[in-house]
Structures are given as C-alpha cells and as structure tokens.
Chains A and B, each alone.
Chain A
C-alpha cells in the first residue's frame, strides 16, 4: 500500500509548490492510464540435471525436448526485446547425464555463464561429487551462488557463498536469496562434509525482512530447493510461504514439479505470494513478467489460486 493517501498528496510531497499542480494533474492522469512504469522479466530453470543435450528423439517421455543450446537461443531472443532480465536457477544443476560423470559440471557452468545466468542456489545433487568439486567448478561460473540456511563456515566453500544478492534493474531493486533442503539422508555425509543445515523458515524470514525493509528491495525472490509439496510434514515451498511475510515469489525445485502457471498462495500477513517450478531437465524455461508502478494499485497476479 502506498504511504500516500492519494495522487495529489504524492505530488505535493515531492514537487511542493515549485510547479503548478494543474499541469501535473494532466500528466498524472496520463501515467495512471500507463500503469506499467517498469517491467522486470524473470527467467528461470530448476533441476537441470546436466541435461546439456535435448532428450533423444526416441525418448519415451520427452522426445526432442530441452537442451542448453536451444534455451540459449530463447534467452537471447527475449533479451532483444526486454531490458530488465533476471535469469535464475533453483538448484540441481549437476547430475543426470554422462556430461557430469565425465566433466563434473564444468560445461553446465560454462554454458549457463554464456547465457548470462545471474544467480543459482544449491540442490542436493550439486554435492554429488563433494564440496571440493563445487569449489573446483566455481571458476567456470560467472553467476552467484546464493544460500542462507547452509552454514559453510567449516568447509572449503566458506566465503564463496552469499546468502542473498541485490540486483539493480533500471532503478528497481530486486533481492534474491536461496534456501536448501536438509542434506542428511539425501546426500552421503562424506560428500556434503561439514555443511550444517539450519532452519530454512527462520533464515527465509530474516533474509527476506532484511531485503525488504533494510535494503529497500522492491521485489524479493526466494530460490528454493525445498520441494514444492509433500504428503508428510516435511518443509516445502507450500508450507514455507504461510510462515513468511516478505517474499513475493518462490522459484522452487527438487520435486521436478511442472506447474503450468505459478500458484498463488497467501503468506502470514494475508499477502499474495507466488510459487513456481518448471519441472526439470530444462524441458521448460519459466518466465514471469512483473510490472511495477508507484501508486499501490490493486495487485493483479496471474496464476492458479490454491488454498493451502
């Protein structure tokens, strides 16, 4: 909600008496009809699983689908028309094809860097060749690795992972942070070593609050590898959101869930939060365009409504 009661208050506050208000009234009306003042285009993937090449044409399920080089073309085309693009990944970049067995993730990182990925978070499979391998492959990545609920301080990754990053896009401040799944029982202990898992809900709340209220971000994105939803009480994106209040969008992974469109959920203070996930293997490229204005008008989000 705007801190200003109406448009006139807003104008008075900034312009004072220096310019006649009557002229600005007309201008403001123009702007009112032009609700979309700034546009942010968020592109995303999750669970790429080293699927460098498309599935073969005789694949029973996904014939000819996916492929890094095809995705690179799509992204280049989108960048031609959109100015403010953020390209993100929600983890499990590694593991799934011989490219990983042979080259340990080098090519995945190189191609993602060429595509201009801005940030990624870790999935459990990114630890499949150990912490040391992540450290070895990191020089091939020009994007950031974000996570706030793994404590890396007693590992070779210490100092190399940021909890969040703020992207400035034409004056918009976009805060992006990452959260990861409990590794115990999912990844052999000798591979994740001394990475300590801490409560993703607590860290999501602290980080999102910091981004929105201390860093004044206009939009806060959570890259999550918790998984979309479980039958059990295990924490998932769907159970995370109602326990948080400053996240606008959760880009999820792990459960390989193909959501035809983002799911609209409600956070702890009754505000809408979107959860999205695009399956796996780069079969889909997700896109969400967020339009910003400065009037605090009613938010219109397109997605599937879901009561949780």
Chain B
C-alpha cells in the first residue's frame, strides 16, 4: 500500500514536469481496411447521400472486353481516354480531320476500368475532375516543345501522334501518319487544365487560337460509351502505343 502511494506520488511529480518525457519505443502497425464490419452510424449518415448518387451512378453505359489500366506499360486506359476525345472530334469537328493531336495527362486518369459492365460511376472515378475539352492551334515549334516534355516527364498521352525517341530526342515524328513539319500549325485537342499550364504544359500558353467545346471531358467519355452501346459495340482495349520513348 505504501509502495503504491509512493508510486502515485512519483507519477504526480512526473506529470508536473513533462519536459522530461522521452520517446523510448515506436511501434508501427498498419491496418488493411477490408474485413471490418461497417460502422452503423457512419452508414446511416451516408445513406441519403448514397441513395441519390446510386440512382445515377449504377447506370450501366458500356461493356468492356477486359480491364483497362495504366499500370506499368499498359496504355489501354490512356488509349481509351484519348480515343473518346478523338471520336468526339471526328463526329463534331470534322474540319480538323488530319490536323489534330489529342493530348491528355496520364495523371488525370484516376481509376482503372474493370472488365464487364462499365457504369457512369466508373467514368466519374476515372475522370472526377470537371475539366473541359478545348481546342488549341499551336506552332510546330511548340509541338516540338510538347514532344520534348513527353519524352522528359512521361506525363502526357496522345492520339494521332507517333514518334520514337532516342537519347531524349524524338525521331520519325508523324501526325496522322504524315511527316511532321515544324513550319506548320497544328490543332491540339486537350483539357482546359493542361491548356492553362497544368502538369507544366507551358507550351500551351498563348496559342494561335483557343476554342472551348464547353463539354466536360467526363461527359465526352460518357457520351462515347453510350454511343458504343447504342450500336451494340463493346470497348475493345488497345494495348499498342504509337509513341515509343526509350529509357
């Protein structure tokens, strides 16, 4: 008993002087959040939000023959994203045919798409940002700056542009299969995010012309899915890249 009292006294002294606490041991432990039960209060709080969302997001808008990812060397997700924009241009801006490159950023694609049914929710998670599709006209010199950035940072993905790189230099640059000409002007279909200099796209500053489609990239993707489904087609992953950047 006395010992216990002394012990308590000791602790009182200690807590009065917390300058003298020292870390003696640090033990980490991460939890995988997977098999725990759902907390009922949290579920209940989220329910009204979820119900409203689900009614929209569970809508199946397309069917994919296999997973589309941007993992490792897989370019299928990037090809899909650029392909939806290219399709939009083909249908709605036919005058640009043969003259435009689609440029998006790999980092902007935020989630993979599974094989099977693709819902509107999947596309929201792939492209959660409210970025709009814009059309820029820029000089051939700026295209070279853009290609150099593609080689250096590996952040941008493209469509209708092909080249190989050797020792950080682009070779055999072609646009729509035709040799690139630095004296020509080209159209770049991209997002307002990149056009405003996002992901260090400084070469898009002060373009020769700038036109906004007023369409969100996400909606371009959703419309593409709906159109495919309407004509009974599936999303077929394209796993080849027109751009080959050596390490």
Taking Cβ atoms with an 8 Å cutoff, the residues of A that contact B are: 2-4, 10, 14-15, 19, 23-24, 26-27, 30-31, 35-38, 49-50, 52-54, 56, 58-61, 64-74, 76, 95-103, 106-107, 110-111, 114-115, 128, 171-173, 185-186, 188-189, 216, 218-219, 248, 260-262, 274, 276, 278, 282-303
User: Does the CB pair A300–B25 fall under 8 Å?
Assistant: yes
User: Which residues of chain A are within 8 angstroms of B39 by Cβ–Cβ distance?
Assistant: 69-70, 72-73, 76
Q: How far does the Cβ of A77 sit from chain B's closest Cβ, in whole Å?
A: 8
The answer to whether A73 and B36 have CB atoms under 8 Å apart is yes
The residues of B that contact A274 with a CB separation of less than 8 Å are: 26
Minimum CB–CB distance for A101 against chain B, Å: 6
- From A26, A185, A290, B23 is in contact (CB under 8 Å) with A290
B6 touches A284 (CB 8 A): no
Contact status of A99 and B49, CB under 8 A, knowing A73-B38, A185-B198, A284-B32: yes
- Is B130 positioned at the interface, with any CB of A under 8 Å from its CB? yes
Structural contact, B24 and A69, CB atoms closer than 8 A: no
User: Given A61-B112, A284-B32, A286-B30, does the pair A295, B18 have CB atoms closer than 8 Å?
Assistant: no
> B41 touches which one: A52, A72, A287, A292 (CB < 8 A)?
A72
Knowing A59-B112, A114-B42 are in contact, say whether A287-B34 is a contact too (CB < 8 A): no
Question: Are A69 and B196 within 8 A (Cβ)?
Answer: no
Compute how far the CA of A69 lies from the CA of B31 in the bound complex, rounded to whole angstroms: 14
Query: In the complex, what distance in Å separates the CA atom of A177 from the CA atom of B121?
Result: 36
B198–A99 CB distance below 8 A? no
A59 touches B114 (CB 8 A): yes
Closest 9 CB pairs of A and B: A72-B39, A69-B38, A69-B42, A171-B15, A291-B25, A70-B36, A72-B42, A98-B124, A301-B26
B46→A284 contact, CB < 8 A: no
Q: Out of A70, A98, A110, A262, which one reaches B121, CB within 8 Å? A: A98
Q: Which residue of B52, B69, B129, B200 contacts A185 across the interface (Cβ within 8 Å)?
A: B200
Contact A287 B57 (CB under 8 A): no
* A282 and B33 contact, Cβ closer than 8 Å, known pairs A2-B20, A69-B46, A98-B53: yes
Asked whether B184 is an interface residue with its Cβ less than 8 Å from the other chain, the reply is no
Residues of A contacting B22 with CB < 8 Å?
A: 2, 292-297, 299
Interface residues of B in 176-225 (CB under 8 A from A): 192-193, 196-200
- Which residues of chain B have C-beta atoms less than 8 A from A303's C-beta? 26, 28
Given contacts A218-B18, A287-B29, A293-B21, 6 further A-B contacts (CB under 8 A): A60-B67, A98-B57, A101-B124, A102-B53, A115-B42, A290-B25
Query: Is B98 an interface residue when CB atoms closer than 8 A count as contact?
Result: no
| Contact of B13 with A by CB under 8 A | yes
**Residue of B whose beta carbon sits closest to that of A56:** B114
The distance from the CB of B42 to the nearest CB of chain A, in whole angstroms, is 4
| A260 to B71 Cα, complex, angstroms | 20
Given contacts A52-B46, A58-B114, A60-B69, contact A71 B7 (CB under 8 A): no
Known contacts: A31-B10, A37-B14, A95-B128. The answer to whether A287 contacts B30 by CB under 8 A is yes
Contact B30 A278 (CB under 8 A): yes
Q: Which residues of A contact B56 (CB under 8 A)?
A: 98
| B50 interface hit (Cβ, 8 Å) | yes
Q: Which residues of B contact A110 (CB under 8 A)?
A: 45
Q: Determine if A107 and B128 form an interchain contact, defined as CB atoms under 8 angstroms apart.
A: no
C-alpha spacing A108/B13, complex, angstroms: 43
User: How far is B128's CA from A291's CA once the two chains are assembled, in angstroms?
Assistant: 41
A131–B92 Cα distance when bound, in Å, is 35
Q: Does B247 touch A at the CB level, under 8 Å?
A: no
A-B contact count (CB 8 A): 223
Chain A residues with CB below 8 A from B32, complex form: 65, 283-284
Contacts of A294 in B (CB 8 A): 14, 20-22
User: Which of B15, B38, B39, B129 has its CB near the most chain A CB atoms (within 10 A)?
Assistant: B39
Which of chain A's residues have a CB closer than 8 A to the CB of B198?
A: 185-186, 188
Which residue of B30, B37, B46 is within 8 Å of A107 (Cβ)? B46
- Given contacts A71-B33, A284-B31, A292 and B46 within 8 Å (CB-CB): no
- Given contact pairs A96-B110, A97-B124, A185-B198, A73 touches B37 in the complex (Cβ within 8 A): yes
Cross-chain contact of B125 among A3, A97, A291 (Cβ < 8 A): A97
Known contacts A96-B125, A185-B200, A294-B14, A70 near B24 by CB under 8 Å:
no
Q: Are B42 and A111 in contact (CB under 8 A)?
A: yes
Distance in angstroms between the alpha carbons of A186 and B22 in the assembled complex: 40
Given A291-B23, A300-B26, the answer on whether A96 and B128 have CB atoms closer than 8 Å is yes
- Interface check B230, CB cutoff 8 A: no
Residues of A within 8 A of B19 (CB): 216
Q: Contact at B6–A68, with CB atoms within 8 Å? A: no
Q: How far is the CA of A116 from the CA of B57 in the complex (A)?
A: 29
